[in-house]
Amino acid sequence: MTTYSRIAIIGNSCAGKTRLAHHLAKRYSLPLTHVDQIQFMEGLKFRPYPESIRILQAEQDKPQWVIDGFGPLDILENRLQKADWVIMIDLPLTTHYYWAIKRVLKNLFLGQRRELPKNSSERDLQHILKLFKTIYQVHTKMRPEMLRILSRESLKSKTTIIRSVSDLNQIFKP
Protein backbone atom coordinates (compact mmCIF):
# COMPACT_ATOMS: atom_id res chain seq x y z
CA MET A 1 0.00 0.00 0.00
CA THR A 2 1.25 3.46 -0.90
CA THR A 3 1.59 5.85 2.00
CA TYR A 4 1.22 9.59 1.86
CA SER A 5 2.25 12.40 4.17
CA ARG A 6 0.45 15.32 2.48
CA ILE A 7 -2.91 15.00 0.75
CA ALA A 8 -4.75 17.96 -0.79
CA ILE A 9 -8.45 17.46 -1.49
CA ILE A 10 -10.18 20.06 -3.63
CA GLY A 11 -13.48 20.34 -5.45
CA ASN A 12 -16.77 22.14 -5.51
CA SER A 13 -19.07 22.54 -2.52
CA CYS A 14 -21.08 19.45 -1.68
CA ALA A 15 -18.63 17.11 -3.41
CA GLY A 16 -17.80 14.78 -0.53
CA LYS A 17 -14.42 16.39 0.24
CA THR A 18 -14.90 16.38 4.00
CA ARG A 19 -16.05 12.77 4.17
CA LEU A 20 -13.11 11.72 2.00
CA ALA A 21 -10.69 13.83 4.06
CA HIS A 22 -11.81 12.17 7.30
CA HIS A 23 -11.42 8.75 5.72
CA LEU A 24 -7.92 9.40 4.33
CA ALA A 25 -6.70 11.14 7.49
CA LYS A 26 -7.70 8.05 9.45
CA ARG A 27 -6.31 5.60 6.87
CA TYR A 28 -2.88 7.27 6.77
CA SER A 29 -2.84 8.60 10.37
CA LEU A 30 -2.53 12.20 9.22
CA PRO A 31 -3.75 15.39 10.87
CA LEU A 32 -6.78 16.90 9.16
CA THR A 33 -7.35 20.56 8.39
CA HIS A 34 -10.64 21.91 7.07
CA VAL A 35 -10.13 25.13 5.14
CA ASP A 36 -13.62 26.26 6.23
CA GLN A 37 -12.44 26.25 9.86
CA ILE A 38 -9.67 28.63 8.89
CA GLN A 39 -11.47 30.92 6.45
CA PHE A 40 -14.53 31.31 8.65
CA MET A 41 -14.88 32.40 12.23
CA GLU A 42 -17.81 31.94 14.58
CA GLY A 43 -21.11 32.74 12.87
CA LEU A 44 -19.64 32.09 9.39
CA LYS A 45 -17.95 35.49 9.38
CA PHE A 46 -14.94 35.66 7.09
CA ARG A 47 -11.62 35.71 8.89
CA PRO A 48 -9.44 38.63 7.72
CA TYR A 49 -7.71 37.57 4.50
CA PRO A 50 -4.09 38.07 5.67
CA GLU A 51 -4.82 36.02 8.78
CA SER A 52 -6.36 33.18 6.72
CA ILE A 53 -3.29 33.17 4.47
CA ARG A 54 -0.93 33.06 7.47
CA ILE A 55 -2.78 30.19 9.18
CA LEU A 56 -3.18 28.12 6.01
CA GLN A 57 0.44 28.69 5.01
CA ALA A 58 1.55 27.44 8.42
CA GLU A 59 -0.65 24.33 8.02
CA GLN A 60 0.63 23.49 4.57
CA ASP A 61 4.25 24.00 5.69
CA LYS A 62 3.86 21.15 8.19
CA PRO A 63 5.37 17.78 7.26
CA GLN A 64 2.07 15.87 7.39
CA TRP A 65 -1.52 16.77 6.58
CA VAL A 66 -4.77 16.22 4.81
CA ILE A 67 -6.17 19.60 3.79
CA ASP A 68 -9.80 19.68 2.73
CA GLY A 69 -10.82 22.65 0.55
CA PHE A 70 -9.48 25.40 -1.66
CA GLY A 71 -8.86 28.43 0.51
CA PRO A 72 -7.21 31.55 -0.90
CA LEU A 73 -6.07 30.82 -4.44
CA ASP A 74 -2.80 32.69 -4.12
CA ILE A 75 -1.42 29.93 -1.85
CA LEU A 76 -3.39 26.96 -3.21
CA GLU A 77 -0.91 26.21 -5.98
CA ASN A 78 1.90 26.06 -3.41
CA ARG A 79 -0.13 23.51 -1.41
CA LEU A 80 -0.72 21.42 -4.51
CA GLN A 81 3.01 21.40 -5.26
CA LYS A 82 3.80 20.29 -1.68
CA ALA A 83 1.20 17.51 -1.68
CA ASP A 84 2.12 13.87 -2.30
CA TRP A 85 -1.40 13.27 -3.57
CA VAL A 86 -3.83 15.80 -4.99
CA ILE A 87 -7.45 14.72 -5.29
CA MET A 88 -9.91 16.84 -7.22
CA ILE A 89 -13.51 15.77 -6.95
CA ASP A 90 -15.04 16.86 -10.26
CA LEU A 91 -18.57 15.52 -10.25
CA PRO A 92 -21.42 16.60 -12.55
CA LEU A 93 -23.11 19.84 -11.54
CA THR A 94 -26.38 18.00 -10.90
CA THR A 95 -24.68 15.78 -8.31
CA HIS A 96 -23.42 18.85 -6.41
CA TYR A 97 -26.92 20.32 -6.41
CA TYR A 98 -28.47 17.06 -5.24
CA TRP A 99 -25.92 16.75 -2.42
CA ALA A 100 -26.49 20.44 -1.56
CA ILE A 101 -30.20 19.70 -1.07
CA LYS A 102 -29.26 16.78 1.19
CA ARG A 103 -26.88 19.05 3.15
CA VAL A 104 -29.59 21.68 3.60
CA LEU A 105 -32.03 19.06 4.88
CA LYS A 106 -29.45 17.60 7.26
CA ASN A 107 -28.69 21.09 8.58
CA LEU A 108 -32.37 21.74 9.15
CA PHE A 109 -32.98 18.50 11.03
CA LEU A 110 -29.63 17.44 12.45
CA GLY A 111 -27.84 20.75 13.04
CA GLN A 112 -24.56 22.33 12.09
CA ARG A 113 -21.80 20.43 10.31
CA ARG A 114 -19.01 19.57 12.74
CA GLU A 115 -16.22 20.98 10.56
CA LEU A 116 -17.61 24.52 10.80
CA PRO A 117 -16.70 27.01 13.54
CA LYS A 118 -19.08 27.43 16.48
CA ASN A 119 -22.47 29.08 15.89
CA SER A 120 -22.20 28.77 12.12
CA SER A 121 -25.75 28.22 11.01
CA GLU A 122 -26.33 27.33 7.38
CA ARG A 123 -30.09 27.26 7.85
CA ASP A 124 -31.16 30.67 6.57
CA LEU A 125 -32.43 31.19 3.04
CA GLN A 126 -29.69 33.69 2.20
CA HIS A 127 -26.99 31.13 2.98
CA ILE A 128 -28.79 28.37 1.06
CA LEU A 129 -29.14 30.56 -2.04
CA LYS A 130 -25.47 31.56 -1.77
CA LEU A 131 -24.50 27.87 -1.61
CA PHE A 132 -26.30 27.09 -4.87
CA LYS A 133 -24.86 30.18 -6.56
CA THR A 134 -21.36 29.28 -5.38
CA ILE A 135 -21.68 25.73 -6.71
CA TYR A 136 -22.56 27.11 -10.15
CA GLN A 137 -19.78 29.71 -10.13
CA VAL A 138 -17.12 27.24 -9.02
CA HIS A 139 -18.24 24.74 -11.66
CA THR A 140 -18.25 27.23 -14.52
CA LYS A 141 -15.36 29.55 -13.58
CA MET A 142 -12.97 27.96 -11.09
CA ARG A 143 -13.18 24.33 -12.22
CA PRO A 144 -11.74 24.93 -15.73
CA GLU A 145 -8.81 26.84 -14.23
CA MET A 146 -8.14 24.10 -11.66
CA LEU A 147 -8.18 21.44 -14.38
CA ARG A 148 -5.68 23.52 -16.35
CA ILE A 149 -3.41 23.86 -13.32
CA LEU A 150 -3.64 20.16 -12.50
CA SER A 151 -2.63 19.22 -16.05
CA ARG A 152 0.84 20.75 -15.51
CA GLU A 153 3.68 18.25 -15.64
CA SER A 154 4.64 18.93 -12.01
CA LEU A 155 1.15 17.95 -10.80
CA LYS A 156 -0.17 15.48 -13.37
CA SER A 157 1.49 12.36 -11.95
CA LYS A 158 0.28 12.91 -8.39
CA THR A 159 -3.26 14.03 -9.21
CA THR A 160 -6.40 11.94 -9.14
CA ILE A 161 -9.50 13.48 -10.67
CA ILE A 162 -12.71 11.85 -9.49
CA ARG A 163 -15.50 12.28 -12.03
CA SER A 164 -18.20 9.95 -10.72
CA VAL A 165 -19.70 8.81 -7.45
CA SER A 166 -18.51 5.26 -8.16
CA ASP A 167 -14.92 6.54 -8.58
CA LEU A 168 -15.26 8.39 -5.30
CA ASN A 169 -16.54 5.26 -3.57
CA GLN A 170 -13.51 3.30 -4.85
CA ILE A 171 -11.21 5.40 -2.69
CA PHE A 172 -13.16 4.33 0.40
CA LYS A 173 -12.39 0.68 -0.25
CA PRO A 174 -9.45 -0.77 1.71
Query: Does 165 have pLDDT greater than 80?
Result: yes
Give the pLDDT confidence of 18-73 residue by residue, as tens digits.
Answer: 999 999 999 999 999 999 889 988 888 889 999 999 999 999 999 999 999 998 88
- Of the listed ranges 58-62, 96-100, 126-130, the least confidently predicted one is 126-130
Note the pLDDT of residue 80: 97
Task: Average the pLDDT over 149-174 and give the result.
Answer: 94
Note the pLDDT of residue 100: 93
Query: Does 121 have pLDDT greater than 80?
Result: no
Strand order through the sheet with 32-34: 32-34, 65-68, 6-11, 85-89, 159-162
Note the pLDDT of residue 164: 96
Note the pLDDT of residue 1: 64
Give the pLDDT confidence of 133-151 residue by residue, as tens digits.
Answer: 999 999 999 999 999 999 9
